[in-house]
Amino acid sequence: MAAQSAPTAAAVDTTLSSTVTVEIRTDEDVVRVRQSVRAAAVAIGMRLVEQTKLVTAASELSRNALDYGGGGKAELQVLRHGPRCGVRLIVEDDGPGIVDVGLALTDGYSTGGGMGLGLAGARRLVDEFELWSEVGVGSCVTIVGWAS
Amino acid sequence: MERIPVLKMGELLMVTIQVDMHDRLARTLLEDLTEAISAHGIHGVLIDISALDVVDSFIGRTLSTIASTAQVLGAETVVTGMQPAVAITLVELGLSMPGIRTALNAERGMAALRAALGGRSERADGSGSGHDA
């Protein structure tokens, strides 16, 4: 079955060319995620402002996973969609989860001591944003930035 | 313990952040600066961030906290050298960093601090004779 779908679909489908996983357990790991995302963004030729936005969003999400989710992991993928290249970051934790996802995405909302810019702010900085969360199971945020 | 060096120059403190700061390092900087301001009677703090290619909400908030804390202790803070891409990102992120004084580069920041402090020491002296005639 896999052999049938491969040839024609490959030209338009988004493909992955590499994957890196960073565990998020400490403050230093958040820096490590930033550096990995920066390296990938530079490698696919993103402009400096695009790089900076993506790296900043990655930093917000990794810190969320650490502070509110009790740690987790970030999976970094380089995407190719026809001539376009992008970076996808999947940050997941197995923390308490988010009770009201809509509220969590509202500017100014925070359960911690912060200003609540984390999720809403990160969403504004990227091209694609997806949040999944289940109370008692954990949260997973996927972001994508495309090189222009 | 890992630290960002704080240089004392007369009644000024100068910090250049050259590393990608993790959160604990940012908190340590806040504590170190606050202690130094209080211990040495500092009136001005210059923080150069020209080497930082990311300022996220935590780092931005820490810079704001440093400025407000310094203000309470009687010192002016100026943050210098923010990269344009960082400035664009901060605004889109929604972080306005209220109360933070900024300058394009360290040279201008130092001039702004000296101007602010010049006025202050004249008032403190009460003589007002600091100017050349």
Task: Give the model confidence (pLDDT) of B5-62 as tens digits.
Answer: 999 999 999 999 999 999 999 999 999 999 999 999 999 999 999 999 999 999 999 9
Interchain pair A52, B54: CB under 8 A: yes
Sequence-ordered alpha helix ranges (H) in chain B: 23-40, 57-72, 84-93, 106-125
pLDDT over threshold 90, residue A75 = yes
Give the integer Cα–Cα distance in Å for A24 and A43.
23
Residue B133 within a domain: no
Q: Is the CB of residue A48 less than 8 Å away from at least one CB of chain B?
A: yes
3-state secondary structure at position A70:
coil
Q: Is the CB of residue A55 less than 8 Å away from at least one CB of chain B?
A: yes
Interchain pair B55, A60: CB under 8 A: no
Of A82, A102, A111, A52, the C-alpha closest to B87 is A52
Number of domains, chain B: 1
Residue B90 within a domain: yes
Which domain range does residue B29 map to? Answer: 7-125
What predicted TM-score, i.e. pTM, was given to this entire model? Answer: 0.86
Give the CATH number for residue B50.
3.30.750.24
Q: pLDDT at position A118, please?
A: 77
Q: Is the CB of residue A22 less than 8 Å away from at least one CB of chain B?
A: no
Chain B: closest CA distance from residue A72 (Å): 17
Higher pLDDT, A116 or B106: B106
Q: Are A125 and A87 in contact (CB under 8 A)?
A: no
Of A24, A135, A30, the C-alpha closest to A71 is A24
CB-defined contacts A:B, below 8 A: 73
Angle at A133 between CA A130 and CA A135, to 5 degrees: 170
Residue B1 within a domain: no
Q: pLDDT at position B131, please?
A: 45
**Averaged over A66-87, what is the pLDDT?**
94
Q: pLDDT at position A109, please?
A: 62
Query: Is the ipTM of this structure higher than 0.95?
Result: no
Q: Are B78 and B46 in contact (CB under 8 A)?
A: yes
Give the integer Cα–Cα distance in Å for A56 and A66.
15
Residue B100 within a domain: yes
Residue B48 within a domain: yes
Higher pLDDT, A72 or A8: A72
Q: pLDDT at position B79, please?
A: 97
* Dihedral sign for Cα atoms in the order B73, B75, B81, B86: positive
Beta bridge partners of A128: A144
Residue B130 within a domain: no
Choosing among 3.40.50.300, 3.30.565.10, 3.30.420.40, 2.60.40.1080, the CATH entry for A2-146 is: 3.30.565.10
Q: pLDDT at position A12, please?
A: 62
Q: pLDDT at position A108, please?
A: 66
**Averaged over B119-132, what is the pLDDT?**
50
pLDDT over threshold 60, residue A117 = no
Give the integer Cα–Cα distance in Å for A13 and A26.
36
Q: Is the CB of residue A120 less than 8 Å away from at least one CB of chain B?
A: yes
Q: Residue B86: its chain A contacts at CB < 8 A?
A: 52
Angle at B130 between CA B129 and CA B133, to 5 degrees: 75
List the strands of the sheet with B44-48, edge to edge.
B7-9, B12-16, B44-48, B76-80, B101-103
Strands B44-48, B76-80: parallel, antiparallel or unpaired by DSSP? parallel
Interchain pair A107, B94: CB under 8 A: yes
A15-74 pLDDT, tens digit each: 887 889 999 999 999 999 999 999 999 999 999 999 999 999 999 999 999 998 999 999
Nearest CA in chain A to B97: A115
Sequence-ordered alpha helix ranges (H) in chain A: 2-9, 27-43, 48-67, 101-104, 118-125
Q: What percent of chain B has pLDDT over 70?
A: 88
Indicate the residue of A53, A55, A60 with minimum beta-carbon distance to B57. Answer: A60
